[in-house]
Structure 1
């Protein structure tokens, strides 16, 4: 009988997470019958105890808010990618008991863009300045050859994004949210705002737009994404990011070189 292997997603709230659906679909598609993937409602105070109680059957963890930074002091090492944004969304539990952290949001975002034929861009715009915006900046550091304009609502956020740009090696120009409609002049726009954050902009699109990557997947399409699609322009959504980053997690957890992209995407679409 094969040794069981376990993985799970942790966070709070966690009931909405699609990760179990994606990873279990991958296991089924690739005949990894001894693998299972669950979800656990875990907040910051509970995290050390949960990690300390894991047995040898555990191979990996996916982390969502509010654990992406809280986990870092509990790990034996983190990748350069995770360190660059001070956020870990992937923990690999090694046979020797050590715990290694990584961030698959960044390569996942890049892979989603590559799939749509976007390997380089001369400039880009980011809407919002939260935690996801720093990951977007880290991704753009690898594919953007010019300036990234970040539209924010406060001077504090502007200063933060400028500092992230300096750290990541990206030329960042903060701009006031009141001028956010000008973001649509960029060939690539990444929206990182919470639900409703860009609704006011949906009716202000010019006739010609580039590519939109709206990181939300619920509700979908957002008013901005729907308006963008009406222009016939390329739109990527949160499910694109979720699926691609999960593919990277699958590889790290299982060590299996096969790609479960098709199975994960089908599982995401069938929600």
Structure 2
């Protein structure tokens, strides 16, 4: 380490692949706005290399953001797993202090904060498109916003077992609906629909989703807008995208890693939007 870097604090995002990640853009924008001389990098790390990477960190490190395929793999490598990470079985943030690793999850509260920013504070009936890991975070966020009944559209209903277990723990009535039964088995109205599947997968059910929902939250951010988001916008619905989630979960990471509050959400969003325009252009 160079002498001038001796007191620099370090954070990074880990995953594989990682080149697409917007996390460095968002975190660096926050550091600049907060006047922190911190470093934030991206490292391509798979499950097999995670333990060695963690073991090699020195005391200058303060936190890690984790993306696929590491959100579950990191759990046994943490000294402590806090809520809601334990609940959803996914750690997207590791806080490093005093030689200890604390795993937590900012995806769940990040989704809640993104919705609150748009004036959505309570939801009762929710539709999930997909039943994977992101759907679990969306289910936990919905429960935190007082959801009592949730429908989940599944291409393979057998894959909904983890989601069903989570719903039971949360005290939420979850009904899994097969993809082909959407028209007949979904409710007439829901407060919120959250899509957690690829754009091409959501497109065939976009009509059924948008004619039922008041708010549509598509977890994708690149490419944007998705076909579902376009359909929701044309229907006059409130539309949120993956960048909303990414910014708010990153803002919570910044606060937890640096101890500085509040995180500069506006600056982070502007940096993210600029980066996405640059990619598209």
User: What is the TM-score normalised by the length of structure 1?
Assistant: 0.94
Contact 1:7 1:59 in 2 (8 A): yes
Unaligned runs of 5+ residues in structure 1 are none
| Displacement of 1:121 | 1.3
Match of 2:256 in 1: 252
Residue 107 of structure 1 is aligned with which of 106, 109, 112?
A: 109
Match of 2:40 in 1: 37
Answer yes or no: is 1:77 the counterpart of 2:80: yes
Residue 187 of structure 1 is aligned with which of 153, 173, 191?
A: 191
| Displacement of 1:70 | 0.5
- Residues 216-227 of structure 1 mapped to structure 2, 5 A cutoff: 216-227=220-231
Contact 1:205 1:227 in 2 (8 A): no
CA RMSD of aligned residues (A): 1.7
Contact 1:202 1:223 in 2 (8 A): yes
Alpha-carbon spacing, 1:41–1:151, altered in 2? closer, same or farther (3 Å): same
Counterpart-to-counterpart distance in 2, 1:98 and 1:158: 34
Residue 171 of structure 2 is aligned with which of 149, 169, 193?
A: 169
Contact 1:190 1:214 in 2 (8 A): yes
Counterpart-to-counterpart distance in 1, 2:216 and 2:73: 31
| Displacement of 1:203 | 4.7
Match of 2:58 in 1: 55
Answer yes or no: is 1:262 the counterpart of 2:266: yes
Once the two structures are superposed, residues 54-90 of structure 1 have per-residue CA deviations (whole angstroms, 9 ceiling, x without a partner) of 0111110000000001001111101021000111000
Match of 1:141 in 2: 143
- Aligned residues, how many? 269
Greater CA drift, 237-246 or 163-172: 163-172
Contact 2:150 2:172 in 1 (8 A): yes
Alpha-carbon spacing, 1:121–1:204, altered in 2? closer, same or farther (3 Å): closer
Alpha-carbon spacing, 1:125–1:204, altered in 2? closer, same or farther (3 Å): closer
Counterpart-to-counterpart distance in 2, 1:79 and 1:101: 6
Greater CA drift, 63-72 or 205-214: 205-214
Counterpart-to-counterpart distance in 1, 2:261 and 2:162: 38
Match of 1:234 in 2: 238
Once the two structures are superposed, residues 193-234 of structure 1 have per-residue CA deviations (whole angstroms, 9 ceiling, x without a partner) of 123111112355666741000000011111011011011210
Residue 120 of structure 1 is aligned with which of 111, 119, 122?
A: 122
Answer yes or no: is 1:87 the counterpart of 2:81: no
Once the two structures are superposed, residues 84-117 of structure 1 have per-residue CA deviations (whole angstroms, 9 ceiling, x without a partner) of 01110000110x2111010000000000011111
Residue 15 of structure 1 is aligned with which of 7, 14, 19?
A: 19
Counterpart-to-counterpart distance in 2, 1:131 and 1:192: 9
Residue 131 of structure 2 is aligned with which of 121, 129, 132?
A: 129
| Displacement of 1:141 | 1.1
Unaligned runs of 5+ residues in structure 2 are 276-281
| Displacement of 1:186 | 1.4
Contact 2:199 2:228 in 1 (8 A): no
